[in-house]
Amino acid sequence: MYINPPLNDNTLALFEYSVRKVMSLGMMNETNTHAAWAALIFDYEKKSYMRSELMSKVKHDYSYYFSQDLQYSFEEEKIRENFPYLFGEDEELNLFELMSRALDAECTAQKDPRNQKRYKVSSCDRISTQEGQYIYKAQLIVDEGEDPHFTDGVSFIFLTKEAPYSCEVVEFDYANAILFFSSTRLIFVTSDCRVISDATMNTIALKKLLEELSEYNINKSYPLYKFLEGSTDKLKDIKHPPYPSYLEKYFVKDKSQFSAFKASLDKDITFIWGPPGTGKSYTLAAIIMALHSMPGERTAVCCLSNVAVDQLLSKVVKNITVEEPEMKRGEFYRAGRTQDELLLRTDFLFPDDAVSSKIRLMIKLYNKKLEGYRTTNQQFSNEAIEIKAQLKDAREELKEHTDYLINQVKVVFSTISNFVINPRLKDGLFDNLIVDEASMLAMPQLIALARNVSKRIILVGDFQQLSPITVAGIPVLKNNVFKLCGIDINHTNHPALRPLLNQRRSHPKLVEIINKPFYGGHLMTDNPKYNSIVARPPYSECVVGMCSVTEGMVRFTKGGTRQNFANSEAVMHLLDLYNEHEEDTFSIGVITPYTGQVSLLKALFSKREYSTDFQDRVKIGTVHTFQGSESDVIIFDMVDCSKFEKGKPYFGKIYANEQGEQLLNVAISRARHKLIVVCDPEYLKTSPGGSISDRSISIFNTLLKAQWTKI
């Protein structure tokens, strides 16, 4: 039976085609090499490397549905469970059943060793005992190319031959791969110990919450019900008293921001489309102030990360300091654990009692001591780690002591994951919900956040940037809420959509690069200020500089990610040049798509004897870690080049299709004043691999024009 090739090459279409093709060949239960599967499935492609690339893309994005061996097979049972329509089974499942099944698959995929972060432990020693908990120091064995992330206070599993132990991160010495952690149990260390990051906790909590619900449990008068029945275009007017008059001045220069502000107050559903630098946070801060002024109304504000929560709350606090300096306590609350010292010093965010005042004072003293250790390069000494453990416990104690405020205050700020897990939040009653970076929000998360919201849902984000992260790749988890409501770059006439189109953050020349390809040329630049960073070397007087690296070579690490040593050396040379200007205080972001290159760059960076101040101003990470943040200068290391250690060169699948477009958009739009691209120009011209979209190629062509010219 002939199977028509997919009409487009997004990963879902490729996966569906692959399954149908394998079934038509009667090979669903057979095992083959990667090259054999590629030749059988994508035989319509003439070039073998292109067939292999397409197969790699399918297997990478849908790894849960393949066996683990080098010669692998399609896992029919798993595919049939989550994609019954591919087998001609028209199983009638309602949305909640589909989501529950999808979250089951996601949890299973997260537990798959291929998707877990596991690190062997070469040694582990107890360094102290503090009030019922034990502090340990573990030397990890990190494979080449891995980029381990351990955030203070995050839980993980320490697995011995005898038992698993639930632990919390105290500190991580990245350069030496030493993990400091706490446990409430005494650990009996054995040989062959492992540290395992557990990503299933939030998925399990979300599934459990949704299992308690159904479409019939959602109040039909609540705005969430319109998302369930597909009627978000039928808006309801919300009557409200006047908002504070001082908020009018915030929008004198930007009518699009004022339109979004007004709609957020006047309608039950508002989508605010905010491309980079158009003032999403600025507008949100004003909306939050207006909703706070509404008598008897309570608002929940949710962001993806703790950093994003603190950044948005800081903007609100700044407005309050200017407009309402006598703000009383018990009006705003930051749920969870903040590490922002300014917020910890903001009295109206905390109750006026002796316990919270004492804990906040202790946190301040701990931070001061730790800063002393850091300035003398002793931040990983046993004494410093003991203080860090006390600081972690103090933050947790402050959270537990003040959590009762969730049910009392008018405005609560929280991460999405904390909202799902915290009983006071997930079961709390709110009039309004605001979600920032909603382009990364899927339907299950929206239902968990909005099920008890009675008046307004305000979703803010940019659907042209990164989408929800999922391992299992099931559509109900992969599609963001904008897409589920029919909103994309080709469909922007939704009555609830309010675009912010005045770009004020980045240099106009940077906006030009992304404007037409990603935003249809609708962005208007309003940033005429000339910044001295542009005049400084490297690439003096150039807004965009192309750092040409023609002698590079791509190598694959054990984990399959990519590295390019020549590119990394070029990046370090650029950082050396910036480090020479000691009087400068601007921020620098180093972005690369591959975790292997991040690992290499961080290793080289740690060996440089940069000052503490310069280290604090440089951030190195993948594109995903930069979503929602910005830097004065962005160095974009593309890694891929014309020479491969083995095989023919081809662009990595991370650059392919819509995902590749989003990656380029995020990487370029993080820059405020200057963008330096480290790459092989000849490689950009040829764009080998065949999966690079026309939109991405147009970006490459624009960048190539900047190589030796001022733009």
Residues 6+ apart with CB under 8 A from 524: 501, 502, 503
* Residue entry with tokens 């037409």: 516
Quote the CA–CA distance of 102 and 417 in Å, as a whole number. Answer: 18
> For the packed helices 95-111 and 443-450, what is the interaxial angle rounded to 10 degrees?
110
Domain boundaries, the chain: 9-75, 111-206, 218-351+409-502, 354-405, 506-710
709 CB-near residues (< 8 Å, 6+ apart): 542
CA distance 337 to 4: 52
pLDDT at 130 (0 to 100): 80
Q: Over the stretch 393-444, which tens digit does the pLDDT of each residue have? A: 999 999 999 999 999 999 999 999 999 999 999 999 999 999 999 999 999 9
Upstream peptide bond of 538 is cis (omega within 30 degrees of 0): yes
- Binning pLDDT at 50, 70 and 90, where does residue 711 land? very low
Instruction: Give the model's pLDDT for residue 565.
Output: 96
pLDDT at 528 over 70: no
Q: Mean pLDDT check: name the lowest of 120-124, 414-418, 529-533, 636-640.
A: 529-533
- Return the pLDDT at 710: 41
pLDDT (tens digit, 9 = 90+) per residue, 325-375? 999 999 999 999 888 989 999 999 999 999 999 999 999 999 999 999 998
pLDDT over threshold 70, residue 318: yes
Q: Is the pLDDT of residue 385 over 80?
A: yes
pLDDT of residue 362: 95
Class of domain 218-351+409-502: alpha beta
pLDDT digits (tens, 9 = 90+) for 550-595: 899 999 887 778 999 999 999 999 999 999 876 678 899 999 999 9
Q: Tell me if domain 218-351+409-502 and domain 506-710 are identical in fold.
A: yes
For residue 8, what pLDDT band results from cuts at 50, 70 and 90? low
526 or 20: whose pLDDT is higher? 20
Which letter, b or e, does each residue of 89-122 get, where b requires 16 or more Cβ atoms within 10 Å of its Cβ?
A: eeeeeebbebbbbbbbbbbbbbeeeeebeebebe
Q: Is the pLDDT of residue 657 over 80?
A: no
Q: How far apart are CA 597 and CA 618, in angstroms?
A: 16
pLDDT at 527 over 70: no
pLDDT at 209 over 50: yes
Rounded average pLDDT over 274-293: 95
pLDDT above 70: residue 381: yes
Whether the predicted pLDDT of 154 surpasses 80: yes
Residue 189 CB: number of other CB atoms within 10 A? 18
Give strand pairing partners of 326. none
For 590-615, what is each residue's pLDDT tens digit?
999 999 999 999 999 999 989 888 99
Q: What is the pLDDT of residues 477-509, one digit of tens each?
A: 989 999 999 999 889 999 999 999 999 889 999
pLDDT grade for 96, boundaries at 50, 70 and 90: confident
Give the pLDDT of residue 215.
64
Instruction: Give the CA distances from residue 498 to residues 131, 274, 459, in Å, rounded to whole numbers and listed in that order.
Output: 53, 9, 10
For residue 85, what pLDDT is reported? 82
Question: Residue 65 has what DSSP assignment?
Answer: G
For 110-136, how does the pLDDT look when each residue is reduced to its tens digit (9 = 90+)? 887 777 889 999 999 999 998 789 999
Q: What six digits make up the tokens of 470?
A: 């999922």
Question: CB-based contacts of 639: which residues, under 8 Å, 6+ apart?
Answer: 554, 562, 563, 564, 567, 592, 593, 594, 597, 652
3-state secondary structure of 588: strand
Helix (H), strand (E), coil (C) string for 376-429: CCCCCCHHHHHHHHHHHHHHHHHHHHHHHHHHCCCEEEEEHHHHHHCHHHHCCC
pLDDT level of residue 309 (50, 70, 90 thresholds):
very high
**What is the mean predicted confidence (pLDDT) over 4-29?**
84
What is the rounded CA–CA span in Å between residue 225 and residue 228? Answer: 5
CATH of domain 506-710: 3.40.50.300
Q: What is the full DSSP assignment across 167-233?
A: EEEEEEETTTTEEEEEESS-----SSEEEE---HHHHHHHHHHHHT--GGGS-TTSTHHHHHHT-TT
Computed over every residue of the chain, the mean pLDDT equals 89
Domain 111-206 has CATH 2.40.10: yes
Lowest mean pLDDT among 235-249, 415-429, 532-546: 532-546
Least confident of 80-94, 101-115, 423-437: 80-94
pLDDT band at 621 (very low <50, low <70, confident <90, very high): very high
pLDDT in tens, 248-271: 999 988 999 999 999 999 999 999
